[in-house]
Amino acid sequence: MAETVVEPKVEVALGTPWNVVVHNDPVNLMSYVTMVFQKVFGYSKQKAQQHMLEVHYKGRSIVWTGARERAEFYLQQLHGYLLLATLEKAE
Amino acid sequence: MLIRRLKGNSIELTDIEPIEAELLRKVPSVCDTGGDSRAEARLFSNPADSSEHQFLSDWDEFVRPELRHLFVSARKTVEEDLGKLSDRPGRPGRLVVPCAHSDAWLNTLNQARLILATKFDFTDEELSMHEPPQSFSRRDLVLLQINFYAAIQERIIDAVNGEEQE
């Protein structure tokens, strides 16, 4: 009888998108947060301000979604600017 | 104190009153958390929830030391710039900072504000308050200090984004 080879189930995580989320913080200035979004993500001033206002009024904003490695890179940059930022699996 | 962008990619702080010079010189020492666990937790906040065990562990091992190095390096830059602050008794001071140092200044002022806000337990409401304080307790004075550093951050951002002046 031929041996049955069961291949291990490999979860393909490459396609799973991840969110970079920035949370509200009363200390960081609105102008500072806007500037950081422009520098880190290369966003236009308008887009950066939209995210900053979402953080300010809703408490959080998903500022970027994509591959895990890139998300971790952005996260490190945001922490370097002392923003409260976390990584979350996108729904 | 006035802050403006000069030609040649630098930022000039002029008319620095003695009390302002003193507060500026305090910035690097304020950034020393003194081991305060809450201040440390704010400077090095968690990048994910507890379900991301391996990521959090890697972050602590590899990223956190880099962040600490970045913050200390920014502080040193500011400290060295402040060493050039010219102020003679009875006369307002002047300081010229290269635009290339603006990130270090913004970062260090942020460190100072975050640490003071955490150590003195300021609420969101207090930090958003713009009315003059009711009293002049140590806590009220620290809030003024936080707002003074915030005003400098705002002016530096304006200066970096603004036009060069003679």
Note the pLDDT tens digit of each residue in B24-80: 999 999 999 988 999 999 999 999 999 999 999 999 999 999 999 999 999 999 999
Q: How high is the mean pLDDT of chain B? A: 91
Sheet holding A18-23, edge to edge: A60-66, A18-23, A84-89
Question: Tokens at residue A43, please?
Answer: 């966003």
pLDDT over 50 (residue A11): no
pLDDT over 70 (residue A9): no
Shortest Cα distance, chain A CAs vs residue B108, angstroms: 10
Tell me what the mean pLDDT of segment B89-96 comes to. Answer: 87
Q: Least CA distance to A24: which residue of chain B?
A: B124
Residue A7 lies in a domain: no
The helix (H) or strand (E) run that includes residue B7 is: none
Residue of A79, A87, A89 to mutate, interface with B, max B Cβ within 10 Å: A79
Residue A10 lies in a domain: no
Shortest Cα distance, chain B CAs vs residue A54, angstroms: 17
Residue B149 lies in a domain: yes
Cβ contact B157–A31 (<8 Å)? yes
Residues of A in contact with B66 (CB under 8 A): 76
CB A78 within 8 A of CB A85: yes
Nearest to A77 by CA among B99, B37, B29, B103: B103
pLDDT over 80 (residue B87): no
Q: What pLDDT score does B86 carry?
A: 84
The amino acid sitting at B19 is I
Please give the residue that has the higher pLDDT: either A5 or A45: A45
pTM of the model: 0.89
Residues of A in contact with B44 (CB under 8 A): 79
Shortest Cα distance, chain A CAs vs residue B122, angstroms: 10
Tell me what the mean pLDDT of segment B92-98 comes to. Answer: 93
Q: What pLDDT score does A12 carry?
A: 47
User: Strand A84-89 vs strand A18-23: parallel, antiparallel, or unpaired?
Assistant: antiparallel
Nearest to B39 by CA among B113, B91, B96: B113
Residue A85 lies in a domain: yes
Residue A30 lies in a domain: yes
What angle do helix axes B18-30 and B138-161 make, rounded to 10 degrees?
Answer: 90
Q: What pLDDT score does B165 carry?
A: 65
Residues B15-30 have pLDDT tens digits of 999 999 999 999 999 9
pLDDT over 80 (residue A7): no
Residues of A in contact with B114 (CB under 8 A): 27, 82
Cβ contact B110–A82 (<8 Å)? yes
Domain count, chain A: 1
Residue span of the structural domain in which A41 resides: 18-89
Residues A17-69 have pLDDT tens digits of 999 999 999 899 999 999 999 999 999 999 999 999 999 999 999 999 999 99
Q: What pLDDT score does A10 carry?
A: 45
Residue A1 lies in a domain: no
Residue A9 lies in a domain: no
The beta strand positions in chain B, using DSSP E, are 2-6, 10-16, 93-98
- Identify the contact set of chain A against chain B, taking CB-CB distances under 8 A: 26-29, 31-32, 35, 72, 75-76, 79-82, 84-88
Residue span of the structural domain in which B141 resides: 2-161
Tell me what the mean pLDDT of segment B124-148 comes to. Answer: 84
Residue B76 lies in a domain: yes
What are the helix (H) ranges across B4-90? 18-30, 37-43, 53-58, 64-82
Q: What pLDDT score does B135 carry?
A: 79
Shortest Cα distance, chain A CAs vs residue B90, angstroms: 33
Residue B166 lies in a domain: no
The DSSP call for residue A82 is T
Residue B79 lies in a domain: yes
CB A79 within 8 A of CB B67: yes
Cβ contact B153–A29 (<8 Å)? yes
CATH number at A27 reads: 3.30.1390.10
Q: What pLDDT score does A1 carry?
A: 53
- Rounded CA gap, B133 and B141, in Å? 9
* Facing A26 at nearest CB: one of B45, B111, B127: B127
Residues of A in contact with B50 (CB under 8 A): none
Q: What pLDDT score does A74 carry?
A: 98
Residue A60 lies in a domain: yes
Q: What is the complex's ipTM, to 2 decimals?
A: 0.91
Cβ contact B110–A27 (<8 Å)? yes
Domain count, chain B: 1
